[in-house]
């Protein structure tokens, strides 16, 4: 029902605390117009990942509501929600299986041509074709041959193929060599085009390409500005 999602995200007076714990978000408001790229930065424990998990519906708010295109997430069909909002985290870059399986994770119906087109779009094609069995390479067996930057590129290809209206990215903290860093930035630009994106950003270069930067502290936004204003 929602492949046509626009990607307008709103947190409306959202309150949240983990079961039995203290309040993490006391009263959170945020309006993200469709298509905007928001970089989320702030001290450890500020609530950035918690926000991402609420938007992916790992948890529901204890107060207030989160809407996608003015529909409460709780009123969306689970399958529609998972198509519309995709989260890429650094822990879950690759699963056991082939490179092609990994790219097609959210789109098991995808053809090899579509998988290759997604890899091409994010600049992952060259390294995949250099693997011993190309797209059929088992990432577990040859896991050692796939670098951190290459794993990120595969996860970007996966997200590109899934084509969600809203992308949430918890950026890897691991440092990359300069060519990989450059490749990741180029891939990001492609991936972010024409969708809403919330990036928990660890790289200055990522903050720079965002339309808007939110600085969080203790579950609240303490700064909300364009990157060049910070």
42-81 mask for ligand ATP (x: CB under 6 A)? x-xxxxxxx-------------------------------
Interaction of residue 23 with ligand ATP, rule CB under 6 A: no
- Provide the CB-side half-sphere exposure for 211 (13 A, CA): 14
Q: How far is the CB of 207 from Mg ion (least distance, A)?
A: 16
32-61 mask for Mg ion (x: CB under 5 A)? ----------------xx------------
Alpha carbons 25 and 29: distance in angstroms, whole number: 10
* DSSP H or E stretch at residue 179: helix 178-192
Helices (H) and strands (E) in the chain, counts: 8, 10
Cβ closer to ligand ATP: 14 or 118? Answer: 14
Cβ closer to ligand ATP: 98 or 206? Answer: 206
Cβ closer to Mg ion: 49 or 185? Answer: 49
Alpha carbons 188 and 176: distance in angstroms, whole number: 15
Cβ closer to Mg ion: 49 or 62? Answer: 49
Q: Which does 47 bind (CB under 5 to 8 A by kind): Mg ion, ligand ATP, none?
A: ligand ATP
Cβ closer to Mg ion: 100 or 201? Answer: 201
Task: Calculate the dihedral angle through the C-alpha atoms of 105, 110, 113, 117, rounding to the nearest 10 degrees.
Answer: -60
Q: How far is the CB of 202 from ligand ATP (least distance, A)?
A: 9
Which residues touch 159 (CB under 8 Å, ≥6 apart)? Answer: 86, 88, 106, 167, 169, 191
Q: Which does 46 bind (CB under 5 to 8 A by kind): ligand ATP, Mg ion, none?
A: ligand ATP
Q: How far is the CB of 171 from ligand ATP (least distance, A)?
A: 10
- Measured over the CA atoms of residue 28, residue 164, residue 155 and residue 122, the dihedral's sign is negative
Alpha carbons 61 and 15: distance in angstroms, whole number: 6
Residues near Mg ion, by CB under 5 A: 48-49
Residues near ligand ATP, by CB under 6 A: 18, 21, 24, 42, 44-50
């Amino acid at each position: 029902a929602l492949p046509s999602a626009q990607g307008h995200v709103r947190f409306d007076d959202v309150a949240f605390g983990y079961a039995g714990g203290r309040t993490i978000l006391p009263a959170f408001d945020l309006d993200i117009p469709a298509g905007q790229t928001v970089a989320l930065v702030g001290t450890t424990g500020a609530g950035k990942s918690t926000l991402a998990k609420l938007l992916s519906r790992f948890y529901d708010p204890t107060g207030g509501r989160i809407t996608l295109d003015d529909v409460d997430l709780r009123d969306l069909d689970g399958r529609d929600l998972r198509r519309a909002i995709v989260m890429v985290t650094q822990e879950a870059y690759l699963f056991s299986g082939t490179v092609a399986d990994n790219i097609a994770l959210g789109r098991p119906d995808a053809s090899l041509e579509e998988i290759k087109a997604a890899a091409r779009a994010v600049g992952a094609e060259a390294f995949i074709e250099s693997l011993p069995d190309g797209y059929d390479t088992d990432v577990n067996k040859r896991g050692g041959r796939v670098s951190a930057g290459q794993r990120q590129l595969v996860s970007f290809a996966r997200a590109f193929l899934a084509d969600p209206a809203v992308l949430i990215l918890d950026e890897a903290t691991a440092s990359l060599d300069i060519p990989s860093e450059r490749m990741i930035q180029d891939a990001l630009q492609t991936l972010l085009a024409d969708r809403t994106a919330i990036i928990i950003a660890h790289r200055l270069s990522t903050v720079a390409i965002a339309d808007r930067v939110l600085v969080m502290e203790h579950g609240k936004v303490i700064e909300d500005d364009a990157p060049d204003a910070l």
